Structure 1
Amino acid sequence: MITFPNAKINLGLQVLRKRSDGYHDIETVLYPIPIYDALEIVEASETKLFVSGIPIPDGGDNLCSRVYNLLGGIYKLSPIHIYLHKRIPIGAGLGGGSSDAAFLIKLMNDYFNLKLESEQMMNYARTMGADCSFFINNKSVFAEGIGDQFLEIEIDLSAYHLLVVNPPIHINTAEAYGGVLLKEDGRNLKEMILEPINTWKETIFNDFEATVFKKFPSIGQIKQDLYDAGAVYAAMSGSGSSLFAIFDQAVCLPDLAKSNQVIYC
Protein backbone atom coordinates (compact mmCIF):
# COMPACT_ATOMS: atom_id res chain seq x y z
CA MET A 1 0.00 0.00 0.00
CA ILE A 2 1.51 3.31 -1.09
CA THR A 3 0.82 7.02 -0.59
CA PHE A 4 2.50 10.30 -1.51
CA PRO A 5 3.03 12.80 1.35
CA ASN A 6 3.07 16.38 0.13
CA ALA A 7 4.80 19.53 1.34
CA LYS A 8 3.28 22.73 2.71
CA ILE A 9 4.13 26.40 2.73
CA ASN A 10 3.37 29.12 5.27
CA LEU A 11 1.66 31.89 3.33
CA GLY A 12 2.23 34.18 6.34
CA LEU A 13 3.47 33.79 9.89
CA GLN A 14 3.26 35.92 13.03
CA VAL A 15 4.96 35.10 16.34
CA LEU A 16 2.82 36.47 19.14
CA ARG A 17 4.29 35.53 22.53
CA LYS A 18 6.44 33.03 24.38
CA ARG A 19 4.49 30.53 26.47
CA SER A 20 5.24 29.19 29.93
CA ASP A 21 5.97 25.76 28.40
CA GLY A 22 8.79 27.18 26.29
CA TYR A 23 6.88 27.16 23.00
CA HIS A 24 5.56 30.24 21.20
CA ASP A 25 2.02 31.15 20.28
CA ILE A 26 1.88 31.87 16.58
CA GLU A 27 -0.57 32.65 13.80
CA THR A 28 0.11 31.24 10.37
CA VAL A 29 -1.61 30.15 7.18
CA LEU A 30 -0.71 26.65 5.99
CA TYR A 31 -1.24 25.65 2.38
CA PRO A 32 -0.51 22.22 0.82
CA ILE A 33 1.68 22.18 -2.28
CA PRO A 34 2.42 19.46 -4.88
CA ILE A 35 5.95 18.45 -3.91
CA TYR A 36 5.88 14.81 -2.85
CA ASP A 37 7.70 12.07 -0.99
CA ALA A 38 6.67 8.45 -1.54
CA LEU A 39 5.69 6.18 1.34
CA GLU A 40 4.89 2.47 1.15
CA ILE A 41 4.18 -0.22 3.75
CA VAL A 42 4.25 -3.98 3.17
CA GLU A 43 3.85 -7.04 5.34
CA ALA A 44 7.07 -8.22 6.98
CA SER A 45 8.47 -10.48 9.70
CA GLU A 46 10.00 -7.52 11.55
CA THR A 47 9.41 -3.80 11.39
CA LYS A 48 12.08 -1.80 9.61
CA LEU A 49 12.32 1.60 7.94
CA PHE A 50 14.09 1.96 4.60
CA VAL A 51 14.92 5.46 3.36
CA SER A 52 16.02 6.48 -0.13
CA GLY A 53 16.32 9.78 -1.98
CA ILE A 54 17.47 12.74 0.11
CA PRO A 55 19.53 11.38 3.05
CA ILE A 56 18.06 11.85 6.52
CA PRO A 57 20.75 13.32 8.81
CA ASP A 58 19.92 11.16 11.85
CA GLY A 59 20.48 7.97 9.90
CA GLY A 60 16.86 7.02 9.38
CA ASP A 61 15.33 7.00 12.88
CA ASN A 62 12.72 9.58 11.96
CA LEU A 63 9.08 10.37 12.68
CA CYS A 64 7.87 7.37 10.68
CA SER A 65 9.55 5.05 13.18
CA ARG A 66 7.90 6.94 16.02
CA VAL A 67 4.48 6.65 14.35
CA TYR A 68 4.76 2.88 14.03
CA ASN A 69 6.00 2.56 17.63
CA LEU A 70 3.04 4.63 18.85
CA LEU A 71 0.25 2.96 16.88
CA GLY A 72 1.85 -0.46 16.97
CA GLY A 73 2.04 -0.32 20.74
CA ILE A 74 -1.51 0.89 21.22
CA TYR A 75 -3.18 -1.46 18.73
CA LYS A 76 -0.75 -4.44 18.94
CA LEU A 77 -0.07 -4.32 15.22
CA SER A 78 1.86 -6.86 13.18
CA PRO A 79 5.28 -5.86 11.81
CA ILE A 80 5.70 -4.02 8.51
CA HIS A 81 8.45 -2.72 6.30
CA ILE A 82 8.21 1.04 5.71
CA TYR A 83 9.74 2.38 2.52
CA LEU A 84 10.22 6.16 2.42
CA HIS A 85 11.59 7.94 -0.63
CA LYS A 86 12.51 11.53 0.25
CA ARG A 87 12.14 14.30 -2.31
CA ILE A 88 10.85 17.15 -0.11
CA PRO A 89 13.91 19.11 1.08
CA ILE A 90 14.72 18.41 4.73
CA GLY A 91 14.80 21.16 7.36
CA ALA A 92 13.55 23.68 4.83
CA GLY A 93 10.27 24.94 6.31
CA LEU A 94 8.22 22.70 3.99
CA GLY A 95 6.95 20.20 6.57
CA GLY A 96 8.28 17.08 4.86
CA GLY A 97 8.93 15.07 8.02
CA SER A 98 5.59 16.04 9.52
CA SER A 99 3.81 15.11 6.31
CA ASP A 100 5.50 11.70 6.20
CA ALA A 101 4.36 11.02 9.77
CA ALA A 102 0.77 12.12 9.16
CA PHE A 103 0.47 10.18 5.93
CA LEU A 104 1.85 7.09 7.64
CA ILE A 105 -0.86 7.43 10.30
CA LYS A 106 -3.48 7.53 7.53
CA LEU A 107 -1.82 4.70 5.63
CA MET A 108 -1.67 2.46 8.72
CA ASN A 109 -5.28 3.31 9.51
CA ASP A 110 -6.27 1.94 6.11
CA TYR A 111 -3.82 -0.96 6.03
CA PHE A 112 -4.74 -2.30 9.47
CA ASN A 113 -8.41 -1.25 9.22
CA LEU A 114 -8.17 0.69 12.49
CA LYS A 115 -11.30 2.74 11.65
CA LEU A 116 -9.85 5.89 13.20
CA GLU A 117 -11.73 9.16 12.68
CA SER A 118 -9.90 12.28 11.49
CA GLU A 119 -9.84 13.81 14.96
CA GLN A 120 -8.28 10.66 16.43
CA MET A 121 -5.59 10.68 13.77
CA MET A 122 -4.97 14.39 14.34
CA ASN A 123 -4.49 13.77 18.05
CA TYR A 124 -1.89 11.10 17.34
CA ALA A 125 -0.22 13.41 14.81
CA ARG A 126 0.01 16.26 17.33
CA THR A 127 2.34 14.12 19.44
CA MET A 128 4.78 14.11 16.51
CA GLY A 129 5.03 17.87 15.99
CA ALA A 130 3.10 21.12 15.89
CA ASP A 131 2.27 21.08 12.16
CA CYS A 132 1.98 17.32 11.76
CA SER A 133 -1.78 17.21 12.32
CA PHE A 134 -2.31 19.68 9.45
CA PHE A 135 -1.54 16.92 6.95
CA ILE A 136 -4.35 14.66 8.17
CA ASN A 137 -7.02 16.75 6.40
CA ASN A 138 -4.43 18.46 4.20
CA LYS A 139 -6.46 21.59 3.42
CA SER A 140 -5.56 25.28 3.70
CA VAL A 141 -6.00 26.50 7.26
CA PHE A 142 -5.42 29.43 9.55
CA ALA A 143 -3.39 27.93 12.41
CA GLU A 144 -2.85 29.33 15.88
CA GLY A 145 -1.67 28.19 19.30
CA ILE A 146 1.68 26.50 18.67
CA GLY A 147 0.48 25.97 15.10
CA ASP A 148 -1.79 23.00 15.79
CA GLN A 149 -5.21 24.64 16.21
CA PHE A 150 -6.90 24.99 12.84
CA LEU A 151 -9.63 26.97 11.17
CA GLU A 152 -10.25 26.00 7.54
CA ILE A 153 -10.10 28.92 5.12
CA GLU A 154 -10.79 29.04 1.40
CA ILE A 155 -7.59 29.73 -0.54
CA ASP A 156 -7.12 28.44 -4.08
CA LEU A 157 -3.84 29.07 -5.88
CA SER A 158 -4.50 26.58 -8.67
CA ALA A 159 -4.70 29.35 -11.28
CA TYR A 160 -1.16 30.50 -10.43
CA HIS A 161 2.30 29.04 -10.96
CA LEU A 162 4.25 28.19 -7.83
CA LEU A 163 8.01 27.99 -7.53
CA VAL A 164 10.00 26.88 -4.47
CA VAL A 165 13.65 27.77 -3.95
CA ASN A 166 15.66 25.79 -1.41
CA PRO A 167 19.09 27.33 -0.78
CA PRO A 168 21.76 25.06 0.78
CA ILE A 169 21.57 26.87 4.14
CA HIS A 170 20.45 25.35 7.45
CA ILE A 171 18.38 27.60 9.72
CA ASN A 172 18.41 26.91 13.45
CA THR A 173 14.75 27.18 14.45
CA ALA A 174 15.51 28.11 18.07
CA GLU A 175 17.77 30.94 16.92
CA ALA A 176 15.12 32.10 14.46
CA TYR A 177 12.56 32.33 17.26
CA GLY A 178 15.07 34.03 19.54
CA GLY A 179 15.59 36.88 17.11
CA VAL A 180 11.90 37.69 16.51
CA LEU A 181 10.56 40.98 17.86
CA LEU A 182 7.26 39.89 19.40
CA LYS A 183 4.28 42.00 18.39
CA GLU A 184 0.76 40.87 19.23
CA ASP A 185 -1.31 43.81 17.98
CA GLY A 186 -1.94 45.70 14.77
CA ARG A 187 -1.81 42.91 12.19
CA ASN A 188 -4.73 40.64 11.34
CA LEU A 189 -3.34 37.80 9.27
CA LYS A 190 -6.64 35.91 9.29
CA GLU A 191 -8.41 38.75 7.47
CA MET A 192 -5.57 39.97 5.25
CA ILE A 193 -4.92 36.54 3.73
CA LEU A 194 -8.45 36.58 2.29
CA GLU A 195 -7.76 39.77 0.34
CA PRO A 196 -6.72 39.55 -3.36
CA ILE A 197 -3.30 37.98 -3.85
CA ASN A 198 -1.94 41.10 -5.51
CA THR A 199 -2.26 42.86 -2.13
CA TRP A 200 -0.25 40.28 -0.19
CA LYS A 201 3.15 41.81 -1.00
CA GLU A 202 2.24 44.86 1.06
CA THR A 203 0.19 43.23 3.82
CA ILE A 204 1.29 39.62 4.49
CA PHE A 205 4.43 38.93 6.49
CA ASN A 206 6.66 36.24 7.97
CA ASP A 207 8.16 37.37 11.27
CA PHE A 208 11.20 35.11 10.84
CA GLU A 209 12.39 36.91 7.72
CA ALA A 210 13.94 39.91 9.48
CA THR A 211 16.19 37.73 11.64
CA VAL A 212 17.03 35.18 8.95
CA PHE A 213 17.70 37.75 6.23
CA LYS A 214 20.01 39.69 8.56
CA LYS A 215 22.10 36.60 9.28
CA PHE A 216 21.87 35.19 5.74
CA PRO A 217 21.56 38.11 3.29
CA SER A 218 21.64 35.70 0.36
CA ILE A 219 18.21 34.37 1.37
CA GLY A 220 16.79 37.88 1.38
CA GLN A 221 18.36 38.44 -2.03
CA ILE A 222 16.55 35.38 -3.38
CA LYS A 223 13.25 36.89 -2.30
CA GLN A 224 14.14 40.10 -4.12
CA ASP A 225 15.19 38.11 -7.19
CA LEU A 226 11.79 36.41 -7.22
CA TYR A 227 10.01 39.76 -7.16
CA ASP A 228 12.34 41.07 -9.86
CA ALA A 229 11.31 38.05 -11.96
CA GLY A 230 7.66 39.11 -11.68
CA ALA A 231 6.34 37.24 -8.66
CA VAL A 232 2.95 38.39 -7.41
CA TYR A 233 3.94 37.31 -3.91
CA ALA A 234 7.10 35.77 -2.45
CA ALA A 235 8.02 34.81 1.10
CA MET A 236 10.04 32.47 3.24
CA SER A 237 8.18 29.36 4.42
CA GLY A 238 8.20 28.80 8.16
CA SER A 239 11.59 29.54 9.68
CA GLY A 240 13.24 28.80 6.33
CA SER A 241 15.42 28.43 4.53
CA SER A 242 13.09 27.72 1.61
CA LEU A 243 11.27 30.53 -0.15
CA PHE A 244 8.30 30.30 -2.47
CA ALA A 245 6.90 32.60 -5.11
CA ILE A 246 3.51 32.86 -6.77
CA PHE A 247 3.51 33.90 -10.44
CA ASP A 248 0.72 34.76 -12.84
CA GLN A 249 2.40 32.70 -15.54
CA ALA A 250 5.07 30.03 -15.86
CA VAL A 251 8.65 31.25 -15.51
CA CYS A 252 12.09 29.75 -15.97
CA LEU A 253 14.82 31.01 -13.64
CA PRO A 254 18.00 29.10 -14.52
CA ASP A 255 20.27 31.55 -12.69
CA LEU A 256 18.62 30.74 -9.37
CA ALA A 257 19.09 27.03 -10.01
CA LYS A 258 22.87 27.41 -10.30
CA SER A 259 23.31 27.55 -6.51
CA ASN A 260 19.90 26.49 -5.17
CA GLN A 261 17.39 23.69 -5.58
CA VAL A 262 14.49 25.13 -7.59
CA ILE A 263 11.24 23.18 -7.78
CA TYR A 264 8.46 24.15 -10.17
CA CYS A 265 4.97 23.16 -9.00
Structure 2
Amino acid sequence: MVLKIESVTKRFGHFTAVSNLTLTIPEGEIFGFLGANGAGKTTTFRMILGLLDSNEGKISWDGQPINYSTSHLIGYLPEERGLYPKLKVSEQVVYLARLRGMNKKDALKELAHWLDRFKVPEYMNKKVEELSKGNQQKIQFISAILHKPKLLILDEPFSGLDPVNVELLKEAVIDLKRNGTTIVFSSHRMEHVEELCEFLCIMHKGKPVVHGELKGIKRNFGKKNLIIHADFPLDFIKNQSGVTKFKTTVEGANIQIENEDMAQRILKDLVGKGVIRKFALEESSLNDIFIEKVGASYE
Protein backbone atom coordinates (compact mmCIF):
# COMPACT_ATOMS: atom_id res chain seq x y z
CA MET A 1 0.00 0.00 0.00
CA VAL A 2 2.21 2.78 -1.34
CA LEU A 3 1.48 6.41 -0.46
CA LYS A 4 1.82 8.73 -3.47
CA ILE A 5 1.85 12.51 -3.53
CA GLU A 6 1.63 13.72 -7.13
CA SER A 7 2.21 17.37 -8.15
CA VAL A 8 0.38 18.65 -5.08
CA THR A 9 -0.01 22.37 -4.44
CA LYS A 10 -1.85 24.05 -1.57
CA ARG A 11 -2.54 27.77 -1.45
CA PHE A 12 -4.11 29.88 1.26
CA GLY A 13 -5.17 33.05 -0.55
CA HIS A 14 -2.00 34.46 -2.13
CA PHE A 15 0.28 32.33 0.07
CA THR A 16 1.52 29.01 -1.30
CA ALA A 17 2.12 26.61 1.59
CA VAL A 18 3.06 23.60 -0.56
CA SER A 19 4.23 23.91 -4.16
CA ASN A 20 4.21 21.09 -6.74
CA LEU A 21 5.21 18.36 -4.27
CA THR A 22 5.77 14.87 -5.72
CA LEU A 23 6.84 11.99 -3.47
CA THR A 24 6.46 8.23 -3.25
CA ILE A 25 6.50 6.84 0.29
CA PRO A 26 7.31 3.11 0.32
CA GLU A 27 5.12 0.65 2.16
CA GLY A 28 6.41 -0.50 5.53
CA GLU A 29 9.13 2.16 5.77
CA ILE A 30 9.77 5.17 8.02
CA PHE A 31 9.77 8.39 5.98
CA GLY A 32 11.01 11.61 7.55
CA PHE A 33 9.97 15.18 6.75
CA LEU A 34 12.37 17.97 7.69
CA GLY A 35 12.02 21.71 7.45
CA ALA A 36 11.87 24.88 9.47
CA ASN A 37 8.55 26.20 10.76
CA GLY A 38 6.38 27.16 7.81
CA ALA A 39 8.10 24.78 5.40
CA GLY A 40 4.83 22.98 4.60
CA LYS A 41 5.20 19.75 6.58
CA THR A 42 2.01 19.95 8.65
CA THR A 43 -0.01 21.18 5.66
CA THR A 44 1.22 18.16 3.70
CA PHE A 45 0.19 15.81 6.51
CA ARG A 46 -3.28 17.35 6.67
CA MET A 47 -3.71 16.94 2.91
CA ILE A 48 -2.65 13.28 3.14
CA LEU A 49 -5.32 12.75 5.80
CA GLY A 50 -7.98 14.58 3.82
CA LEU A 51 -8.31 17.31 6.43
CA LEU A 52 -7.31 19.84 3.78
CA ASP A 53 -8.00 19.69 0.04
CA SER A 54 -5.15 20.45 -2.34
CA ASN A 55 -5.60 23.09 -5.02
CA GLU A 56 -3.73 20.96 -7.55
CA GLY A 57 -2.47 17.40 -7.82
CA LYS A 58 -3.60 14.28 -6.02
CA ILE A 59 -2.70 12.07 -3.07
CA SER A 60 -3.41 8.34 -3.03
CA TRP A 61 -2.79 5.37 -0.76
CA ASP A 62 -2.96 2.00 -2.46
CA GLY A 63 -4.32 3.87 -5.46
CA GLN A 64 -7.22 5.46 -3.57
CA PRO A 65 -7.71 8.73 -1.66
CA ILE A 66 -7.80 8.52 2.13
CA ASN A 67 -11.35 9.08 3.40
CA TYR A 68 -13.77 7.81 6.04
CA SER A 69 -13.78 4.33 4.51
CA THR A 70 -10.06 3.95 5.29
CA SER A 71 -9.80 6.09 8.44
CA HIS A 72 -9.74 2.99 10.69
CA LEU A 73 -6.44 2.03 9.03
CA ILE A 74 -4.79 5.39 9.79
CA GLY A 75 -3.15 6.73 12.93
CA TYR A 76 -2.38 10.43 13.43
CA LEU A 77 -0.51 12.26 16.16
CA PRO A 78 -0.85 16.03 15.59
CA GLU A 79 1.78 18.50 16.71
CA GLU A 80 -0.82 20.28 18.84
CA ARG A 81 -2.12 18.14 21.69
CA GLY A 82 -5.75 17.20 21.17
CA LEU A 83 -6.70 15.33 24.33
CA TYR A 84 -9.61 16.29 26.56
CA PRO A 85 -8.01 17.42 29.85
CA LYS A 86 -10.96 16.55 32.11
CA LEU A 87 -11.28 12.95 30.91
CA LYS A 88 -9.45 10.03 32.47
CA VAL A 89 -6.77 8.45 30.30
CA SER A 90 -8.79 5.23 29.96
CA GLU A 91 -11.96 7.11 28.96
CA GLN A 92 -10.08 9.23 26.42
CA VAL A 93 -8.16 6.43 24.74
CA VAL A 94 -11.04 3.94 24.68
CA TYR A 95 -13.32 6.57 23.13
CA LEU A 96 -10.84 7.23 20.31
CA ALA A 97 -10.21 3.51 19.82
CA ARG A 98 -13.93 2.79 19.48
CA LEU A 99 -14.19 5.48 16.80
CA ARG A 100 -11.69 3.35 14.87
CA GLY A 101 -13.67 0.15 15.26
CA MET A 102 -12.18 -1.42 18.40
CA ASN A 103 -14.38 -2.81 21.13
CA LYS A 104 -13.96 -1.59 24.70
CA LYS A 105 -12.43 -4.83 26.05
CA ASP A 106 -9.70 -4.99 23.38
CA ALA A 107 -9.00 -1.27 23.71
CA LEU A 108 -8.49 -1.53 27.49
CA LYS A 109 -6.23 -4.55 27.03
CA GLU A 110 -4.05 -2.75 24.48
CA LEU A 111 -4.00 0.40 26.61
CA ALA A 112 -2.77 -1.57 29.63
CA HIS A 113 -0.04 -3.12 27.47
CA TRP A 114 1.20 0.26 26.22
CA LEU A 115 1.04 1.93 29.63
CA ASP A 116 3.18 -0.91 31.02
CA ARG A 117 5.59 -0.58 28.11
CA PHE A 118 5.92 3.16 28.71
CA LYS A 119 6.36 2.52 32.44
CA VAL A 120 3.24 4.47 33.51
CA PRO A 121 0.58 1.82 34.38
CA GLU A 122 -0.69 4.04 37.21
CA TYR A 123 -1.99 6.58 34.64
CA MET A 124 -4.92 4.38 33.56
CA ASN A 125 -7.46 6.27 35.69
CA LYS A 126 -5.77 9.65 35.98
CA LYS A 127 -7.16 12.71 34.27
CA VAL A 128 -5.16 13.99 31.33
CA GLU A 129 -4.74 17.41 32.97
CA GLU A 130 -2.95 15.74 35.92
CA LEU A 131 -0.12 14.54 33.67
CA SER A 132 3.04 16.37 32.66
CA LYS A 133 3.37 17.56 29.06
CA GLY A 134 5.73 14.70 28.28
CA ASN A 135 3.35 12.09 29.67
CA GLN A 136 0.43 13.67 27.81
CA GLN A 137 2.50 13.20 24.67
CA LYS A 138 2.91 9.49 25.47
CA ILE A 139 -0.86 9.12 25.93
CA GLN A 140 -1.49 10.91 22.66
CA PHE A 141 0.98 8.57 20.93
CA ILE A 142 -0.83 5.55 22.40
CA SER A 143 -4.14 6.96 21.13
CA ALA A 144 -2.67 7.15 17.62
CA ILE A 145 -1.40 3.56 17.51
CA LEU A 146 -3.74 1.56 19.76
CA HIS A 147 -5.82 0.26 16.82
CA LYS A 148 -2.66 -0.98 15.01
CA PRO A 149 -2.84 1.32 11.97
CA LYS A 150 -1.36 0.43 8.60
CA LEU A 151 -0.36 4.07 8.00
CA LEU A 152 0.86 6.23 10.89
CA ILE A 153 1.51 9.98 10.63
CA LEU A 154 3.44 11.56 13.48
CA ASP A 155 3.90 15.34 13.57
CA GLU A 156 6.79 16.13 15.95
CA PRO A 157 6.25 12.97 18.05
CA PHE A 158 9.23 13.58 20.35
CA SER A 159 8.18 17.09 21.36
CA GLY A 160 8.29 17.64 25.13
CA LEU A 161 9.94 14.31 25.91
CA ASP A 162 13.10 13.83 27.99
CA PRO A 163 15.89 11.61 26.55
CA VAL A 164 14.67 8.46 28.36
CA ASN A 165 11.15 8.78 26.98
CA VAL A 166 12.46 9.69 23.52
CA GLU A 167 14.19 6.30 23.48
CA LEU A 168 10.99 4.54 24.57
CA LEU A 169 9.06 6.16 21.74
CA LYS A 170 11.78 5.47 19.16
CA GLU A 171 11.76 1.77 20.11
CA ALA A 172 7.98 1.73 19.71
CA VAL A 173 8.22 3.35 16.26
CA ILE A 174 10.82 0.79 15.14
CA ASP A 175 8.64 -2.09 16.38
CA LEU A 176 5.63 -0.72 14.50
CA LYS A 177 7.72 -0.61 11.33
CA ARG A 178 8.84 -4.21 11.88
CA ASN A 179 5.17 -5.19 12.06
CA GLY A 180 4.49 -3.60 8.68
CA THR A 181 3.23 -0.11 9.52
CA THR A 182 4.18 2.68 7.10
CA ILE A 183 5.29 5.65 9.21
CA VAL A 184 5.56 9.27 8.09
CA PHE A 185 6.92 11.68 10.65
CA SER A 186 8.42 15.12 11.09
CA SER A 187 11.04 16.12 13.62
CA HIS A 188 13.26 19.11 14.22
CA ARG A 189 15.94 16.79 15.61
CA MET A 190 18.19 15.70 12.76
CA GLU A 191 19.69 12.80 14.72
CA HIS A 192 16.22 11.24 15.18
CA VAL A 193 15.54 11.31 11.45
CA GLU A 194 19.03 10.04 10.69
CA GLU A 195 18.63 7.16 13.12
CA LEU A 196 15.12 6.07 12.13
CA CYS A 197 14.61 6.87 8.44
CA GLU A 198 15.78 5.27 5.24
CA PHE A 199 13.86 7.83 3.17
CA LEU A 200 13.30 11.54 3.74
CA CYS A 201 12.31 14.88 2.30
CA ILE A 202 13.73 18.28 3.26
CA MET A 203 11.21 21.02 2.55
CA HIS A 204 11.88 24.74 2.28
CA LYS A 205 9.16 27.32 1.71
CA GLY A 206 6.74 24.66 0.55
CA LYS A 207 9.10 22.99 -1.92
CA PRO A 208 11.15 19.78 -1.65
CA VAL A 209 14.83 20.74 -1.87
CA VAL A 210 16.14 17.23 -1.16
CA HIS A 211 14.30 13.92 -1.19
CA GLY A 212 15.05 10.24 -1.62
CA GLU A 213 16.96 7.51 0.17
CA LEU A 214 19.16 8.80 2.99
CA LYS A 215 22.22 6.81 1.86
CA GLY A 216 21.95 8.21 -1.65
CA ILE A 217 21.42 11.76 -0.41
CA LYS A 218 24.60 11.57 1.68
CA ARG A 219 26.57 9.96 -1.15
CA ASN A 220 25.49 12.55 -3.68
CA PHE A 221 26.23 15.43 -1.30
CA GLY A 222 29.91 14.62 -1.79
CA LYS A 223 31.39 16.61 1.06
CA LYS A 224 32.93 14.74 3.99
CA ASN A 225 33.71 15.57 7.61
CA LEU A 226 37.21 15.13 8.96
CA ILE A 227 37.79 14.97 12.71
CA ILE A 228 41.35 15.49 13.93
CA HIS A 229 42.64 15.36 17.51
CA ALA A 230 46.27 16.44 17.73
CA ASP A 231 48.79 17.90 20.17
CA PHE A 232 49.79 20.72 17.81
CA PRO A 233 47.98 23.62 16.08
CA LEU A 234 45.94 22.77 12.98
CA ASP A 235 45.21 26.29 11.74
CA PHE A 236 47.48 25.79 8.72
CA ILE A 237 44.79 23.50 7.23
CA LYS A 238 42.13 26.22 7.27
CA ASN A 239 43.06 27.93 4.02
CA GLN A 240 43.93 24.86 1.97
CA SER A 241 42.08 24.32 -1.29
CA GLY A 242 39.20 21.88 -0.81
CA VAL A 243 38.52 22.83 2.83
CA THR A 244 35.00 24.27 2.96
CA LYS A 245 34.60 24.60 6.74
CA PHE A 246 37.05 24.63 9.64
CA LYS A 247 36.14 24.67 13.33
CA THR A 248 38.70 24.57 16.11
CA THR A 249 37.81 22.26 19.02
CA VAL A 250 39.40 21.64 22.43
CA GLU A 251 41.14 18.54 21.09
CA GLY A 252 41.88 19.67 17.55
CA ALA A 253 39.52 20.53 14.70
CA ASN A 254 36.37 19.50 12.82
CA ILE A 255 36.82 20.07 9.12
CA GLN A 256 34.49 19.79 6.14
CA ILE A 257 36.24 18.84 2.91
CA GLU A 258 35.09 18.56 -0.68
CA ASN A 259 36.05 14.91 -1.19
CA GLU A 260 37.85 11.89 0.29
CA ASP A 261 41.08 12.58 -1.65
CA MET A 262 41.51 15.77 0.34
CA ALA A 263 41.75 13.71 3.55
CA GLN A 264 44.83 11.88 2.24
CA ARG A 265 46.53 15.16 1.38
CA ILE A 266 45.85 16.55 4.85
CA LEU A 267 47.15 13.37 6.50
CA LYS A 268 50.43 13.66 4.61
CA ASP A 269 50.77 17.28 5.77
CA LEU A 270 50.27 16.22 9.40
CA VAL A 271 52.94 13.53 9.47
CA GLY A 272 55.99 14.61 11.44
CA LYS A 273 54.37 17.61 13.10
CA GLY A 274 53.52 15.89 16.38
CA VAL A 275 51.18 13.37 18.01
CA ILE A 276 47.93 12.65 16.14
CA ARG A 277 45.42 11.10 18.55
CA LYS A 278 42.49 10.83 16.15
CA PHE A 279 42.04 11.10 12.41
CA ALA A 280 38.53 10.11 11.31
CA LEU A 281 36.78 10.60 7.99
CA GLU A 282 32.96 10.58 8.19
CA GLU A 283 29.96 11.15 5.94
CA SER A 284 28.41 14.59 6.19
CA SER A 285 25.63 14.65 8.77
CA LEU A 286 22.03 15.36 7.89
CA ASN A 287 22.41 18.66 9.72
CA ASP A 288 25.28 19.59 7.38
CA ILE A 289 23.10 18.83 4.36
CA PHE A 290 20.17 20.77 5.82
CA ILE A 291 22.31 23.84 6.42
CA GLU A 292 23.71 23.64 2.89
CA LYS A 293 20.28 23.32 1.25
CA VAL A 294 18.14 25.53 3.50
CA GLY A 295 20.70 27.98 4.80
CA ALA A 296 20.16 27.67 8.56
CA SER A 297 20.58 25.08 11.28
CA TYR A 298 17.35 23.62 12.59
CA GLU A 299 18.19 22.57 16.16
Structure 2-normalised TM-score? 0.26
Which of 1 and 2 has higher RCO (CA within 8 Å, sep 6+)? 1
- Which one has a bigger Cα radius of gyration? 2
User: Going by fraction, where is helix more abundant, 1 or 2?
Assistant: 2
